[in-house]
Amino acid sequence: MTRFIIYFFLLLCIGSESSAAENISPPQRIISLAPNTTEILFALGLGDRIVGVTTFCDYPQEAKAKPKIGGMSNPSLEAVVSLKPDLVVATTDGNPKEFVERLNSLNIKTFVFTARRLRELPHGIRELGAVVGAHQEAVKLAAGIEKAIEMHGRGVRGQGAGDKGQGSGTSKKVLFIVWPEPLIVAGPGTAMDDAIALLGYENIAHGAATAYPKYSIEEVLRRAPDVLFIGKATGMDMREVSQGFLKRLSLVPAVRNNKICYVSDNLYRLAPRVVRGIEELAECLK
């Protein structure tokens, strides 16, 4: 009988402990609805707690092994619900708003990552860190990114002092090519555009109407960029793919002076990797 009483109390203790813990304990089953939030969560050391990602989430390597819940614009509600998440991380940049509303109506906790620009990334990481209970890691990660942004920005200002300001007339013109045929480039609002501006250069596609415009080849010839960046695409040899395209641009200074840089896809997603992406651009522009 005493044994039963002891068990009973033990059970009570466990029960009360777990319910108390639920209020303060961080989410244990996280689903990420975008590749960049997946990367951030992994960078915060939360890989073990991620129970679902999109089919686009391919970085880091471990993300590929996670259960898939569909694409970014068309995640499967059933797949998400069946994984019993206690937090779903969505973005304003790619996930439908209705999907998040639907999750909320099913009493699934969501966090919406709103950062879209390079300078908004550290703040976004800190916010996300607070929600997933990785506050310290997030502060550290964000500080690292802020420091890198600060450092690259400062280097430019030091250089620009001699050139008398940062007028667009004096700065070098560059273009970041996402795909050569048809020509798709990084326009305003992309991390590439922000990184180019940060480094004190002028993105010739900055005035385009959309983030990834299909760009006019004639206009590239006219605006005569001094440097061309060519981004990476999965499973493709970009040197081979862009050969014909570069031949047509033989009059552009970047091609004439062989200032063509094949860079990685580090800047394609607003995630901690952008720091390496900025370094790559800076390295090439030296």
Partner 1 sequence: MRIFILVFVALFIFCCALFLGPQIITPGPLSTIEREILFSIRLPRVLVAMLMGMALGASGAVLQGILRNPLADPYILGISSGASLTAALGIIGGMSFLGSFTVPVLAFVGALVTGGIVGMMGWKRGGLWPERLLLAGVGLSFLFSALLMLMMSISTDEGLRRAMLWIFGDLSMSEWSRIPWGLAFVVIGIVLSATRARALNALILGDEFAHSLGFSPQRERFILFVSVGLLTAASVSLGGMIGFIGLLIPHIMRFFMGSDSRMLIPASALGGGSLLCIADLVSRSVLPPMELPAGVVTAIIGAPYFLYLLRKKDVLGI
> Which pairs count as long-range contacts for 60-66, CB under 8 Å and 24+ apart, including other chains?
63/38, 63/39
Q: Map the footprint of partner 1 across residues 142-201, applying CB under 8 A.
A: 178-179, 181-184
Among 81, 96, 213, 279, contact with partner 1 (rule: CB under 8 A): 213
Contact assessment for residue 198 and residue 118, using Cβ atoms and an 8 Å cutoff: yes
- The minimum distance between CB 28 and partner 1, in angstroms, equals 27
Among 80, 125, 134, 205, contact with partner 1 (rule: CB under 8 A): 205
Distances (CA, A) of 153 to 199, 278, 284: 6, 11, 16
Among 168, 209, 258, 286, contact with partner 1 (rule: CB under 8 A): 209
Task: Say whether residue 42 binds partner 1 (CB under 8 A).
Answer: no
- The minimum distance between CB 34 and partner 1, in angstroms, equals 13
- φ, ψ of residue 228 to 5 degrees: the values are -115, 130
Among 162, 165, 169, 235, contact with partner 1 (rule: CB under 8 A): 235
**The Cα angle at residue 29 between residues 265 and 129, in degrees rounded to 5:** 60
Contacts of 231 (CB under 8 A, 6+ apart): 176, 177, 178, 179, 186, 192, 238, 263, 264, 265, 267, 268
Q: Which is nearer to partner 1, 134 or 254 (CB)?
A: 254
Among 208, 270, 271, 278, contact with partner 1 (rule: CB under 8 A): 208
- The minimum distance between CB 47 and partner 1, in angstroms, equals 20
Among 84, 147, 157, 214, contact with partner 1 (rule: CB under 8 A): 214
CA 100/CA 110 separation, integer angstroms: 7
Task: Say whether residue 216 binds partner 1 (CB under 8 A).
Answer: yes
Pairing verdict, β 50-52 and 87-91: unpaired
> How many residues in the shown chain lie near partner 1 by CB under 8 A?
39
Among 26, 47, 71, 144, contact with partner 1 (rule: CB under 8 A): 71
CA 195/CA 155 separation, integer angstroms: 13
* Binding window for partner 1 (CB under 8 A); candidates: 86-94, 103-111, 158-166, 248-256: 248-256
Distances (CA, A) of 239 to 118, 182, 192, 242, 274: 28, 15, 20, 5, 22
Kindly list the residues in this chain that would bind partner 1 in the complex (CB under 8 A): 55-56, 71, 74, 178-179, 181-184, 205, 207-210, 212-219, 221-222, 224, 233-237, 240-241, 243-245, 248, 250-251
